[in-house]
Chains A and B, each alone.
Chain A
Amino acid sequence: DVKVTQSSRYLVKRTGEKVFLECVQDMDHENMFWYRQDPGLGLRLIYFSYDVKMKEKGDIPEGYSVSREKKERFSLILESASTNQTSMYLCASSSRTGGEETQYFGPGTRLLVL
């Protein structure tokens, strides 16, 4: 059974803190993604990675960075958390096959920045 896990289900942080969100997949997928989900806005892509040590900006990368040192792990970093980064963060992975790239999602991390 495919599995994407995220390190925390709920997090509460203070403004200005550095925040790490971890995502691990056990499917040997090449592609990994970080999204944030906000009411009325749907899911928006923050960053994605097609290979180890490779990263590309999504639609809303400002205020975030990522790290992919190992194939199975993709980390999202908030260098200095702000209240407008309070959101649900979802990680996903997919295999690099010809056209059919079903994304598998983790359970999400609900982050509150005070």
Chain B
Amino acid sequence: KQEVTQIPAALSVPEGENLVLNCSFTDSAIYNLQWFRQDPGKGLTSLLLIQSSQREQTSGRLNASLDKSSGRSTLYIAASQPGDSATYLCAVNDYKLSFGAGTTVTVRA
């Protein structure tokens, strides 16, 4: 059974600092890995999807890397802003999505 872990569970940084969020998974036989953002009381918004054959994906200030052999992915958010405050979820697709518990980020103005 796929186990997905996100560390840290919570993170607080001053505005402008770069954010590094970590995700690890136990079974490397995956189709892809996805990062989502969730605002309080809301649904999930897809940020980036990395196929198993890819090493990284970029969208604006966001960059996600994937090391399938070691079972790790990292989401980098450059020059953080208060609007980046949210919970970030990592999900691994190995036929179905398995989610981590998330990292809750607070960016202080």
| A residues lining the B interface (CB < 8 Å) | 4, 33, 35, 40-45, 48, 58, 90, 92, 99-108, 110
Contacts and interface: CB of A to CB of B under 8 A. Distances in A.
Given A99-B31, A104-B46, A110 B41 contact: yes
A35 B43 CA distance: 11
Q: Is the interface of A mostly helix, strand, loop or mixed?
A: strand
Nearest to B6: A42
Given A42-B100, A103-B46, 8 more contacts: A43-B89, A45-B96, A90-B43, A99-B51, A103-B34, A104-B46, A105-B36, A107-B42
Given A42-B101, A99-B51, A58 B96 contact: yes
Contacts of B93: 101
Q: Is the interface of B mostly helix, strand, loop or mixed?
A: strand
Interface residues of B, number: 24
Contacts of A99: 31-32, 51-52
B50 to A, nearest CB: 10
B42 A102 contact: no
24 contacts: A4-B43, A42-B89, A42-B99, A42-B101, A43-B89, A43-B91, A43-B99, A45-B96, A45-B97, A45-B98, A90-B44, A92-B44, A99-B32, A100-B51, A101-B93, A102-B49, A103-B34, A103-B44, A103-B46, A104-B46, A105-B43, A105-B44, A106-B43, A107-B42
